[in-house]
């Protein structure tokens, strides 16, 4: 077969992989994102009053979710690496959808706490599992666009939340005797849980497994998928490869300096990105009304969405420069968040906030593809542990970063922006170093 025919065959294979994976993963992540954050909606809808929760008691279910979420990411990815994604991911998704339904029936604090613990355990398998799947199907110069599609879910969710919030608070205020803000959270948890369970069942029939064991490709397509990855030094699971034990994979991953270096960088990005929790609050402090503040948040996400898409597209053309581009985006975020600490003009602060967010979101997706391609030559089990570790430690940063913008710091919020400036500056150093050392020492 000549080169032109091979390129046509490869293009057709990649298109088939995209159609099976990307829409399925996108919707799965959207439902996961909704299920994870719906406790905040429930609180505003009156859950804390009905369950007689104190402020401290409400905070504990938030924290315990991340504890089990972080702890179970690595074990879950080890299980996934030795099973089939089309079975494992739909099963845990169905289970967490069922638990989400049960949360609407909780009548006590301890029941709520138990259910949040279980949701953390079940959802722990999703994000690192998706990272492993994407890294197992795509070559290193194909991953940035796919990870950009994945991370775009969180960006678009934020934008649509702002649009809907502004429309609902303005259009439904006073309807049936309820304030506008209450209508934001009337959608019952059982609907979200049922939607999650329904799509989990659908995904079983669409989602690809790993290249060597998927039944959705022909033998020729499976062979070609493995060979093209091998040519790009991406290791795939085959029957000829010795299977590592979980302890061996864990030891090999955590003894590799690349795992720790990229984990440190991703913790900075995710920790700084908790700024998104406070966008409406920060915008409101710029002297906009609550209703207008909801709409004013939308351009922040719109610019970030463009930044994520453009970055993902161009970095597949220059995959060897991912580290330095992440450092450049974080340098922009460092500069803008520092300027927010020193300039108090409302319009200027809003512009700096938009640019800070763009840098953080663009860095997020690119950092994931940078990690996945760096770990590509590792065996599947070791790569599973490494990607789960990066994602788990990144999410751990959400726990302490959520306290960066206390009410008493309004309206300058110097503590929050100061810490974010410092973290982003540290991230610049980490990814600049990674750009140099990973290119110099690219082996396992």
pLDDT tens, residue by residue, 275-319: 876 666 666 666 555 556 556 777 888 899 999 999 999 999 999
Share of the chain above pLDDT 70, in %: 78
Report the alpha-carbon angle 26-272-120, nearest 5.
50
10 Å CB burial of residue 174 (0-12, 13-18, 19+) is exposed
In the chain, % of residues over pLDDT 90? 46
pTM of the model as a whole: 0.86
- Pick the most confident of 39-48, 178-187, 392-401: 392-401
**DSSP H helices in 124-256:** 126-137, 143-171, 180-183, 189-204, 219-231, 246-254
Q: Which ranges constitute the DSSP H helices of 218-256?
A: 219-231, 246-254
pLDDT category, 321, cuts 50, 70, 90?
very high
Compute how many other C-beta atoms are within 10 angstroms of the C-beta atom of residue 364: 26
Q: With 70 as the cut, is the pLDDT of residue 172 above it?
A: no
3-440 has which fold? Growth Hormone; Chain: A; (1.20.1250)
Q: What does the pLDDT average to over 400-423?
A: 80
Locate the domains of the chain by residue range. 3-440
């Amino acid at each position: 077969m000549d080169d032109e025919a091979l390129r046509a065959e490869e293009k057709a294979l990649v298109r088939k992989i995209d159609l099976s994976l990307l829409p399925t993963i996108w919707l799965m992540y959207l439902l996961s994102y909704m299920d994870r954050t719906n406790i905040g909606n429930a609180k505003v809808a009156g859950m804390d009053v009905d369950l007689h929760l104190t402020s401290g008691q409400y905070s504990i279910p938030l924290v315990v979710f991340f504890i089990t979420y972080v702890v179970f990411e690595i074990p879950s990815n080890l299980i996934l690496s030795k099973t089939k994604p089309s079975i494992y991911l739909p099963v845990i998704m169905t289970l967490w959808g069922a638990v989400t339904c049960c949360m609407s029936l909780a009548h006590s604090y301890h029941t709520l706490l138990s259910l949040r613990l279980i949701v953390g355990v079940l959802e722990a398998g999703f994000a690192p599992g998706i990272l492993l799947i994407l890294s197992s199907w795509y070559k290193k110069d194909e991953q940035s666009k796919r990870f950009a599609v994945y991370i775009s879910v969180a960006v678009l969710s934020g934008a649509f939340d702002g649009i809907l919030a502004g429309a609902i608070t303005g259009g439904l205020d006073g309807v049936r005797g309820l304030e506008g803000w209450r209508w934001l959270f009337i959608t019952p948890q059982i609907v979200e849980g049922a939607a999650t369970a329904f799509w989990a069942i659908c995904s079983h029939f669409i989602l690809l497994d790993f290249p060597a064991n998927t039944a959705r490709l022909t033998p020729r397509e499976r062979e070609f998928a493995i060979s093209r990855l091998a040519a790009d030094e991406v290791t795939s699971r085959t029957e000829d490869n010795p299977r590592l034990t979980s302890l061996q994979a864990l030891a090999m991953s955590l003894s590799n300096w690349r795992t720790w270096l990229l984990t440190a960088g991703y913790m900075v990005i995710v920790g700084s990105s908790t700024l998104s929790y406070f966008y409406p609050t920060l915008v409101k402090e710029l002297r906009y009304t609550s209703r207008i503040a909801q709409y004013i948040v939308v351009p922040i996400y719109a610019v970030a969405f463009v930044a994520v898409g453009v970055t993902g597209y161009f970095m597949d053309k220059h995959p060897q420069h991912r580290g330095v581009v992440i450092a450049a985006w974080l340098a922009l975020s460092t500069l803008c968040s520092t300027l927010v600490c020193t300039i108090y003009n409302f319009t200027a602060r809003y512009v700096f906030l938009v640019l800070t967010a763009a840098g953080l979101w663009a860095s997020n997706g690119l950092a994931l593809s940078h990690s996945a391609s760096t770990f590509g030559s590792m065996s599947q089990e070791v790569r599973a542990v490494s990607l789960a570790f990066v994602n788990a430690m990144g999410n751990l940063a959400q726990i302490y970063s959520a306290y960066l913008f206390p009410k008493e710091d309004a309206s300058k919020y110097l503590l929050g922006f100061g810490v974010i400036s410092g973290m982003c500056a540290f991230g610049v150093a980490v990814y600049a170093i990674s750009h140099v050392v990973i290119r110099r020492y690219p082996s396992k």
